[in-house]
Chains A and B, each alone.
Chain A
Amino acid sequence: MRVVLLVLKFGLLAILYFFILRVFYFILTDLRRVSARGGPRPAGQQAVCGAELVVTESNDPSVRPGEIIKLGAETRLGRGRHNHIKLTDAFVSHDHMQIIFKQGKFFLEDLHSINGTYINGVRVKEPVPLSHGDAIRIAGVTFKFVRWEYEVE
């Protein structure tokens, strides 16, 4: 009888700790996944990747020419409230486009917007790596893509 209780006592403690270890394991894999993506921080909070968009032309009241928007690991633009860059123009789609940092480069991807995204006057069809000085036009707003290492020179 006592043996059974002793086994149960340590068995219960063991279950508790196995449970906690398992949770730790899941948390670690979760953290690795997040850090592999370069962190879940939105643009503007922390510029880890060293690039920004400069507004050069705008007929949209929500962004003014000269405004600088830092790019994070993932920056989305559109009319929806959840976007990092919110435009109000009716020609802008709800989820218009996104810029993602991958393998040391920034890729611009058009999210099947109605009126399209143009890089140096060419409509974007598939994800395009951006280079310094590219002009990105969405409806009546034009951005210039600036990488920092070029700017400090």
Chain B
Amino acid sequence: MPSEIRGTERSLFIYIFLFLWLGLFSLFEAGIIKDIRQPAFLSLAVTLAMLLTHLLLEKWGVEGDLLLFPLTSMLNVAGLLMILRLSPEFAERQFIWLFVGLAAFLLTVKGLNNYKSLEDYKYIYIFAGLFLLLATILFGVEAGGARSWIELGIVRFQPSELVKIILVIFLAGYLEEKKEILAEGTRNILGIPVPSLQYTGPLLVMWGLSLVLLVFQKDLGTALIYFGTFLAMIYISTGRWPYIFTGALLFSLGGLLGYLLFAHVRVRVAIWLNPWIDIDGKGYQIVQSLFAIGSGGIYGTGLGLGQPSLIPAAHTDFVFSAWCEETGLLGAAALILIYCLVIHRGFRIALTAKTGFGTLLAAGLTSLLAIQTLVIVGGVIKLLPLTGITLPFVSYGGSSLVSSYILLGLLTKISAEDGA
């Protein structure tokens, strides 16, 4: 290779491939995989696809962040191994989604000429996003208690995953345009600057609409992520604490209302407070998750040697518990460390971005990833009430994986254009 702009990235990929193949070997030795040929073929395809992605980035001279792609690839490989171990019938599809995700990543990095141009069409995006959400409510199908899927022939996808990113792009553009007014306000109430309704209006409408839509979809986890990201971005752009207080208050009110109105919210909270009352019924999932995490110990049982298939939905929402059981505290800590490093890189990109829009976009996307990880990891370890969302890059789920890769592409693009 004559030019070596992404040499760091390649040196890290050695570890990832080693992990993938040794993990596969471990699953085979443990007797989980009976027929090695198909998984080996798929792993070979993944190895080649990741290498190809890296070489294409090198060839196009993308000088973006060198650590993000290896970090997320490691997460992805860990997830693939867990899915292969838990439900081989889903693994094949997840491998295919990974190729789609990598293609989406490359398309975002290469196809987007200038990320700043995203700012110009923000209202078009947000209407497209709202339209997608509305379509889900009208034509969506229900799965796992949440009506958030659209069926297109053989493929099912979850529009709310994509809408998350659209929302961040819109908020970055809108807040960048209006941040002085939002920070200074036009009137003062008790020393707190209050912008007049014409400026806060669109924001309130956006927030209310997304929450109402999500209430109709009964998808509480996603609502929490939307709102958390919204608060994080408004704080980053204005630096005003009152927004956070008001927002937290509004959200608590919404949560209380949800608790009083919806039976399934009450059930979730009751299970969170004490799952042991109803071990065999409603508390079964979380109790099994806690057992799995506990039986892992410090070093874990070893890949393929635990019994994580006892947890319902282990390959999607509870993939973290399964990972904890088989790799133990050390493996779980490693996974969380990798997430922390991803978030560190994301905020570093936000700091070096040259425009306010770039800073807000990078910080917003990173907050989105951070909040999503926190909510689901907190959920399965019973730190927070459980909500059914995916662990980014690790869980089974096509739309989640593809939109995570688009997010990665946007972050890489911002760092490539603005440098460090």
Contact = CB atoms under 8 A, between A and B. Distances in A.
A36 interface: no
Contact of A19 (B12, B25, B330): B12
A6 B304 CA distance: 12
B19 A20 contact: no
Contact of A5 (B29, B299, B345, B420): B29
Interface residues of B, number: 38
Interface stretch (B65-73, B98-106, B389-397): B65-73
Nearest to A18: B15
Contacts of B300: 9, 13
A10 B29 CA distance: 15
The secondary structure that dominates the B interface is: helix
Contacts of A40: 351-352, 420
A15 B15 contact: yes
Contacts of A42: 354
Interface string A1-36: 100111011111101111110111011001000100
A26 B328 CA distance: 27
B87 interface: no
A9 B305 CA distance: 10
B8 interface: yes
Nearest to A17: B334
Contact of A16 (B19, B29, B354): B19
B330 A82 contact: no
Contacts of A15: 15, 18-19, 22
B108 interface: no
Interface stretch (B188-196, B269-277, B336-344): B336-344
B22 A12 contact: yes
A13 B299 contact: yes
Contacts of B330: 13, 16-17
A9 B338 contact: no
A8 B29 contact: yes
Contacts of B70: 19, 23
A22 B355 CA distance: 31
B303 interface: yes
Contact of B16 (A4, A10, A19, A34): A19
A92 B268 CA distance: 63
A56 B11 CA distance: 53
A25 to B, nearest CB: 10
Interface string B318-331: 00000000011011
Nearest to B331: A13
Interface string B247-266: 00000000000000000000
B15 A6 contact: no
Given A15-B18, A40-B352, A9 B299 contact: yes
B165 interface: no
A98 to B, nearest CB: 14
A19 B73 CA distance: 12
A84 to B, nearest CB: 9
Given A5-B305, A40-B420, A13 B327 contact: yes
B12 A22 contact: yes
A42 B356 CA distance: 12
A10 B26 CA distance: 11
B285 to A, nearest CB: 27
11 contacts: A1-B29, A5-B302, A8-B302, A8-B303, A9-B305, A13-B299, A19-B16, A19-B70, A23-B12, A26-B8, A82-B355
Interface of B: 8, 11-12, 15-16, 18-19, 22-23, 25-26, 29-30, 66-67, 70-71, 74, 299-300, 302-303, 305, 327-328, 330-331, 334, 337-338, 341, 344-345, 351-352, 354-355, 420
Nearest 5 pairs between A and B by C-beta?
A9-B302, A19-B15, A8-B26, A16-B334, A15-B19
